[in-house]
Amino acid sequence: MTPTRVIVLNGGSSSGKSTLARCLQAVLPDPWLTFGTDTLVDAMPGSGTDIGFAADGEVTVGEDFRTLEAAWIEGIAAMARAGARVVVDEVFLGGAGSQRRWQRALGDLAVLWVAVRCDPAVAAEREAGRGDRIPGMAARQADLVHRDVHYDLEVDTTRTGPEACARNIAATVISRTPEPSPPPSPRT
């Protein structure tokens, strides 16, 4: 059994992924880096990235965005291959197609795929409280991002706090970590 190198948290906007990722850093053994799709979007130039946010919360992306996203995904995979443990906070706008892009890049790495679910009404309430999201984005993405995606584990942040969800995920990661081999017994 190979220890988990990457945890991919997939959920819609305002489902609690970023808070959950920070809680995971606190409860997982060893240091873990976190990177989110918001990090990618924030790193992009203000124009020419082919990403659109409609008034109803729909997010569209084009070729320029996909090119930069592909490089970002490959970079995260390279960090994991170089020894970093990574938590990815993602929004699979393309459902299973988005997961396949990550699967190709992560290849032989041990990955824990986690669905972060949240009732659309609760996510919309959180979205309204944040003030930095387009109204409707959370409700639109709540189910869309999970379409035909395969997971190892699912958590629901509707009524379960991020700390409890993080402990659940950490327990799964720890259960997948092989026990160290005992030292050889001395010869007599």
Here the tokens at position 154 are 């699912």
Question: How is residue 31 written in tokens?
Answer: 């240091």
DSSP character string of 84-142: --EEEEE--TTTHHHHHHHHHHHTTS-EEEEEEE--HHHHHHHHHHHSSS-TTHHHHHH
Would residue 185 count as lying in a domain? no
| CA 34-37-42 angle, 5° bins | 100
Residues of the domain holding 27:
6-175
Per-residue pLDDT of the chain (188 residues), as tens digits, is: 678 999 999 999 999 999 999 999 999 989 999 999 988 988 887 765 688 788 887 888 888 888 999 999 999 999 999 999 999 999 999 999 999 999 999 999 999 999 999 999 999 999 888 877 778 888 889 999 999 999 999 999 999 999 999 999 999 999 987 766 566 767 65
Indicate whether 181 belongs to any domain: no
Domain presence at residue 64: yes
CATH of the domain at 91: 3.40.50.300
pTM for the model stands at 0.89
Residue whose structure tokens are 């990177």: 35
- Look up tokens 């005992």; give the residue: 182
Number of domains in the chain: 1
Residue 1: inside a domain, yes or no?
no
Residue 183 within a domain: no
> Tens digits of per-residue pLDDT, 8-47?
999 999 999 999 999 999 999 899 999 999 889 888 877 6
| Dist CA 85 CA 81 (whole Å) | 9
- Whether residue 84 lies inside any domain: the answer is yes
CB-count exposure of residue 76 (10 Å: 0-12, 13-18, 19+): buried
Residues noted as catalytic:
38
